[in-house]
Structure 1
Amino acid sequence: MSRRTRLIAALDTASRTQAQNWANSLKNDVDAIKLGLEFTYACGLDAVRSVSEGHRLFLDLKLHDIPHTVASGLAALTPLRPALTTIHASGGAEMIARSREVLEKAFPEENSRPQLLAVTVLTSMNAEGLREIGVDATPQEQVIRLGKLAVSAGADGLVCSAHEIAPLRAALGDGPVLVVPGIRPAGSATDDQKRIMTPRQAAQAGADWIVVGRPITKAPDPVQAARAIMDELASA
């Protein structure tokens, strides 16, 4: 299946001014922006709305609670009209199903509904980290287990490491949207990510979206860094 891999720039900052500057400068050079916990907690939902204006928004809050609470939280976020939003797959089938119901009710036209993404195993986790929390499985095994659960319960797609793209496609087919953080252009610092790939590798593996933060936002010229990644994706 042929697909174009799209770029999400992660604007991870507690500064509204900084996020707005990045968003303004990158408006023509990325496919979407990500605003997550740090920015939302520091600056609030009005700031999320303002900074994301004119962009597709990946609202990455990774909700995880009892089904009613997560569903109510998503309902409160729907005025932001994100293109993609996240919950934790480990919250279970009922939590995922209730989340999907809320989004379908708020956005009866399917093309306008945010895509519901389930986070499988964080890209900062490895096998040792999973054992520390009582999971006796490799990251790949746990990702596939949670991925099957999430998609069967109503998630549109998954957030996963690039190294799990091929196994997930084998297990679930081409239908689920795969959003892949932990992407580092060749020569970039790995920071706290443990399961990483370059943009070209992730595109060739079959990612629908890649998420790149510090290699763009901490670059001397963020626009040039974003354009280089977009060029790399186009030639993959």
Structure 2
Amino acid sequence: MKGNTYLALDFTSWDEAEHFLKENDLHGVPVKVGMELFYREGPRIIEKLKANDHGIFLDLKLHDIPTTVMKAMKNLARLEVDMVNVHALGGSEMINRAKEGLLSGSPASHDTKLIAVTVLTSMDETALNNELKIPGSVADNATHFAGFAAENGADGVVCSVHEASRVKAACGSFFLTVTPGIRLQETDVNDQRRVATPVFAKENGADILVVGRTVTQAKDPKTAYLQVQEEWGHGSTP
């Protein structure tokens, strides 16, 4: 992986994403490509980003029957990105088969990390308990999902910063915690519930930050991106 701060390219097309990266002199920064952009542009966008030296987190949150996910992951492995993900709600067997597909499809020279999504940062305990009928706290559920993901081949999880230290304690220091919902102090939280600053993320055990609107909607996106890295660098370790 080429860095620890992935910029979410939440744009509708490659033209928009490319213009933003060029206009703000963000050549080569690690980026996250989600469903909106990938479903519009397909695998060609990965090749274009790699040609410009961007590390890539492909955020598609695969969630289907185990065999389907295994076959899909085998195809995605050929893209040779930094990270891909599945949704932990798919269960242990699905995660295990995803890892199988990733390993069988990856060139021997490349190590794509498999990341399992725990609880979306847009959700809180009320939504988890009352809408999904999943009992317990967000932290307890995120830690539970991380535990069986680790046991079935995942290299880490997507979780909020608020659960990162508990995941580390349960799964070990080398198990990656990928944390969206990162906000600079002065920016809005938008539709996410469990957000945090880069300093808090560093102090609470986050390994990899995902930043979106706090950078892309800033008046000066490059300065905002560099500020995230600066604040991360000055955080203390637990």
TM bin (shorter chain):
over 0.9
Instruction: Determine if contact 1:19/1:51 at 8 Å carries over to the other structure.
Output: no
Instruction: Among all aligned residue pairs of Structure 1 and Structure 2, give the percentage whose two residues are the same amino acid.
Output: 38
Q: Whole-Å Cα distance in 2 between the matches of residues 113 and 67 of structure 1?
A: 21
Aligned position for 1:168: 167
Which of 117, 120, 128 matches 1:119? 117
The alignment partner of 2:182 has SS state of coil
Q: CA deviation at 1:49?
A: 2.3
Q: Whole-Å Cα distance in 1 between the matches of residues 112 and 118 of structure 2?
A: 19
Q: CA deviation at 1:52?
A: 4.1
Q: Whole-Å Cα distance in 2 between the matches of residues 82 and 139 of structure 1?
A: 29
Please list every run of at least 4 consecutive aligned residues from structure 1 whose deviation after the TM superposition is greater than 2 angstroms: 21-25, 106-109
Q: CA deviation at 1:108?
A: 5.5
Q: CA deviation at 1:205?
A: 1.3
Aligned position for 1:33: 31
Q: Whole-Å Cα distance in 2 between the matches of residues 158 and 150 of structure 1?
A: 8
Instruction: Determine if contact 2:76/2:102 at 8 Å carries over to the other structure.
Output: no
Aligned position for 1:45: 43
Question: More displaced, 18-27 or 175-184?
Answer: 18-27
Where do 1:1-236 residues align within 5 Å?
6-24=4-22, 25-28=25-28, 30=29, 32-53=30-51, 54-107=53-106, 109=108, 112-131=110-129, 132-236=131-235
> When the two structures are superposed, what TM-score results if normalisation uses the length of structure 1?
0.92
Query: What are the Cα deviations for residues 92-137 of structure 1, in whole angstroms up to 9, with x where unaligned?
Result: 111111111112122353x622100000000001111112111011
Query: What are the Cα deviations for residues 47-77 of structure 1, in whole angstroms up to 9, with x where unaligned?
Result: 2321343111000000000011111111222
Q: Which runs of 5+ in 2 are unaligned?
A: none
Q: Which runs of 5+ in 1 are unaligned?
A: none
> When the two structures are superposed, what TM-score results if normalisation uses the length of structure 2?
0.91
Output the aligned Cα RMSD: 1.5
Instruction: Determine if contact 1:58/1:85 at 8 Å carries over to the other structure.
Output: yes
Ranked by relative contact order (alpha carbons within 8 Å, sequence separation 6 or more), the top structure is 1
Instruction: Determine if contact 1:23/1:33 at 8 Å carries over to the other structure.
Output: no
The alignment partner of 1:185 has SS state of coil
Instruction: Determine if contact 1:33/1:52 at 8 Å carries over to the other structure.
Output: no
Equivalent AA in structure 1 for residue 60 of structure 2: L
The alignment partner of 2:178 has SS state of strand
Equivalent AA in structure 1 for residue 32 of structure 2: K
Instruction: Determine if contact 2:99/2:154 at 8 Å carries over to the other structure.
Output: yes
Instruction: Determine if contact 1:14/1:43 at 8 Å carries over to the other structure.
Output: no
The aligned length equals 229
